[in-house]
Chains A and B, each alone.
Chain A
Amino acid sequence: MLEARQLSLSLSEFTLLQGIDLQIEAGKVTAILGPNGAGKTSLLRLLTGELLPSSGEIVFNGAQLSQWQPKQLAKMLSVLPQGSQLNFPFTAREVVMMGRIPHATGLVKDTEIVDAALSAVGGSYLDKRFYTQMSGGEKQRVQLARVLAQIWEPDASGDRFLILDEPTSSFDLAHQQLTLEIVRGFARQGVGVLMVIHDLNLAAGCADQLVMLSCGKIAAQGSPETVLTTAMIKDVFNVDASIGLHPKTGSPLVIV
């Protein structure tokens, strides 16, 4: 369980987040939605321990987040940030292999996991290609494979969590779907997934729980049906939308 209690964050007199209560359960997919500047990325950075909250607390697998040793935490919590700064010519395999840095499982095991992670994101063909020469979508897939490889197997010290900041932003339709399938697959294995996502319909189709952020506060939280309403979308995004139902899955469909 990853739990936020009454989190607030202020940076240089601006209040970015206020009174956030949130529970991310193992085996469930939670999506954070909200307009630009609502505080989505700040919330992720608090929950991953990259920023310290001005007040409130974060509990990860039964202990305060800040009390976990970095190395131990890295075996359970894997984070995909937005964009990447890597500009050295590593091959895709080498980048994905970095996901195994926190583990001491040996080269044979790590190679198996890297193969499996690359193939899961449909990137086996990228294996020996240089990261610096890939397209945006290919880079993002390699990074996704890296964070998957990091928590590929259960860890003795607690539940695994996967945190993704806009994982589908530079993907085409097929790879968006593939990513969401991967995410669901990990959740079925008991991994708690938290992701920031802009596409409301992708979120509704994949997540068990939606969290709508607006101006640094949680505007709504719950199942896709309860969060995605015309009133809520008008309220948060100031857009008039209709809500339909997905003909196959029955999840809500936001039509603008």
Chain B
Amino acid sequence: MRRQSPSQFIFIASLSLVMALVLGLLSGAVNIPPSKLLGLFDLSNTDLDHRILQTIRLPRVLLAALAGACLASCGAVMQGLFRNPLADPSLIGVSSGASVGASCVIFFGGASLVGSGIGLPAIAIGAFVGGLLATSVVYRLATSITGTSVSTMLLAGIAITALAGATTSLFSFFADNEMLRRISLWQMGNLDGADWSRVTTLALVVVPLILILPKEGQALNAMLLGESEARHLGVAVECLKRRLILLTALGVGVAVSVSGIVAFVGLIVPHLVRLLIGPDHRYLIPGSAILGAVLLLLADTAARTLMSPAELPTGVLTALLGAPFFVGLLIQQRQKLMG
């Protein structure tokens, strides 16, 4: 397959991102005429359409774009780290780990915490710690001198997901009604709680992350050759691994804490970008971030409009699209191994 030039791809993807943002702003339970976008940032506009745009739609599309960019770039980094194109935060248990961390905080923090201003950051920290533990465990189990074992990686993912499921069930069992509702809504992966405080929390983590990660691109490329090869190319491998595990756990943890488990974005997007512009992480990471934002925006817009005025959980939609894609990838890999 012929490759596209990275700069051309990033240009086209950025254009699509703008279009997806506009589309997401305009469509929903109430369709808003495009002319209303003009006064979007003018807070003195108090008619209904502008209020919908400012307090509901804008945070929602920004949240979708940020979460998509975060999950996709973290997915790209994880695949490089594991030297395996099938690694994805939701498949290898990082998202589940993060969700356990977050449920822990909700459960033990109780209503006092959730109502107050520190609620969201506290949940985000819980999710980060959970995600970090999960990534470290999977990484330790699955990688050895000879590389990463996919089967161990996926099995570790199953184990962590099962453990996470059990823990969450336990919390649900002891939780009161209000807490139960909070925990279970979250697991579906939903962006419908979008508000400005969530957007800010996510942006504070995601924007620096997207700026930092591509700087590790060259070192990640070397990692794909093998750990010892990377070391001989002057990469401080242990340090790099620790840093990347920390950063991706942070990214996934925060994304999970504001949007629940949105599966497969981290798998599909880097794969598509790699097909289009090649595996060089210096372009793969920013490319994935932009395309991830576009994809999750479109998925979320579809989730809001398909059964309008009711909303499908976004995570359900991405899983419906992602699972067949993943099976397709597995079949392709199998054929590669056999032939």
A249 within 8 A of B: no
Q: Do B274 and A74 touch (CB < 8 A)?
A: no
Look across to chain A and name the residue whose beta carbon is closest to the beta carbon of B336. Answer: A132
What string of 1s and 0s marks CB contacts (under 8 Å) between A47-72 and chain B?
Answer: 01110000000000000000000111
- How many whole Å from A59's CB to the nearest CB in chain B? 18
- How many whole Å from B279's CB to the nearest CB in chain A? 4
Measured in the bound complex, the distance between the Cα atoms of B85 and A49 in whole Å is: 29
- How many whole Å from B225's CB to the nearest CB in chain A? 5
- How many whole Å from B146's CB to the nearest CB in chain A? 8
Q: Do B224 and A70 touch (CB < 8 A)?
A: no
B236 within 8 A of A: yes
Chain B interfacial residues counted at CB < 8 A: 23
A101 within 8 A of B: yes
The one of B226, B235, B274, B278 that contacts A84, using a Cβ cutoff of 8 Å? B226
Q: How large is the interface on A (under 10, 10 to 19, 20 to 34, 35 or more residues)?
A: 20 to 34
With A81-B226, A89-B279 known as contacts, the answer to whether A101 contacts B232 (CB < 8 A) is no
With A88-B85, A90-B280 known as contacts, the answer to whether A81 contacts B234 (CB < 8 A) is no
A-contacting residues, B226-250, CB 8 Å: 226, 228-229, 231-236
- How many whole Å from A229's CB to the nearest CB in chain B? 35
Measured in the bound complex, the distance between the Cα atoms of B305 and A147 in whole Å is: 55
With A75-B234, A101-B222, A101-B233 known as contacts, the answer to whether A90 contacts B228 (CB < 8 A) is no
Measured in the bound complex, the distance between the Cα atoms of B228 and A150 in whole Å is: 15
Q: Do B225 and A85 touch (CB < 8 A)?
A: yes
Measured in the bound complex, the distance between the Cα atoms of B226 and A86 in whole Å is: 7
With A50-B228, A81-B226, A81-B229 known as contacts, the answer to whether A89 contacts B274 (CB < 8 A) is yes
With A89-B278, A90-B280 known as contacts, the answer to whether A102 contacts B233 (CB < 8 A) is yes
Stretch of A91-99, A204-212, A219-227 on the interface side = A91-99
A183 within 8 A of B: no
Q: Do A91 and B234 touch (CB < 8 A)?
A: no
With A48-B232, A73-B234, A77-B232 known as contacts, the answer to whether A91 contacts B278 (CB < 8 A) is yes
With A88-B274, A89-B274 known as contacts, the answer to whether A98 contacts B233 (CB < 8 A) is yes
Give the residue among B219, B225, B274 with the most A Cβ atoms within 10 A.
B225
Look across to chain B and name the residue whose beta carbon is closest to the beta carbon of A95. Answer: B225
Measured in the bound complex, the distance between the Cα atoms of B3 and A91 in whole Å is: 11
A87 cross-chain contacts in B, Cβ below 8 A? 83
- How many whole Å from B263's CB to the nearest CB in chain A? 23
With A88-B279, A90-B278, A98-B221 known as contacts, the answer to whether A81 contacts B233 (CB < 8 A) is no
B147 within 8 A of A: yes
B218 within 8 A of A: yes
B228 cross-chain contacts in A, Cβ below 8 A? 45, 48, 50, 79, 81
B236 cross-chain contacts in A, Cβ below 8 A? 70
A140 within 8 A of B: no
Q: Do B232 and A78 touch (CB < 8 A)?
A: yes
Q: Interface of A with B (CB < 8 Å)?
A: 45, 48-50, 70-75, 77-79, 81, 84-91, 94-95, 98-99, 101-102, 150
5 closest A-B pairs (Cβ-Cβ)? A74-B234, A71-B234, A102-B234, A88-B279, A79-B232
Please list 16 pairs of residues, one from A and one from B, whose beta carbons are closer than 8 Å in the complex, sorted by A's number.
Answer: A50-B228, A50-B231, A73-B234, A74-B232, A74-B233, A74-B234, A84-B225, A85-B83, A86-B224, A86-B225, A88-B224, A88-B279, A90-B278, A98-B222, A101-B222, A150-B233
Q: Interface of B with A (CB < 8 Å)?
A: 83, 85, 146-147, 218-219, 221-222, 224-226, 228-229, 231-236, 274, 278-280
- Interface contacts beyond A85-B83, A101-B234: sample of 19 additional A-B pairs, CB < 8 Å, sorted by A: A45-B228, A70-B231, A74-B234, A77-B232, A78-B232, A79-B229, A81-B226, A84-B229, A85-B147, A86-B224, A90-B280, A91-B278, A94-B280, A98-B221, A98-B225, A99-B233, A101-B222, A101-B235, A102-B233
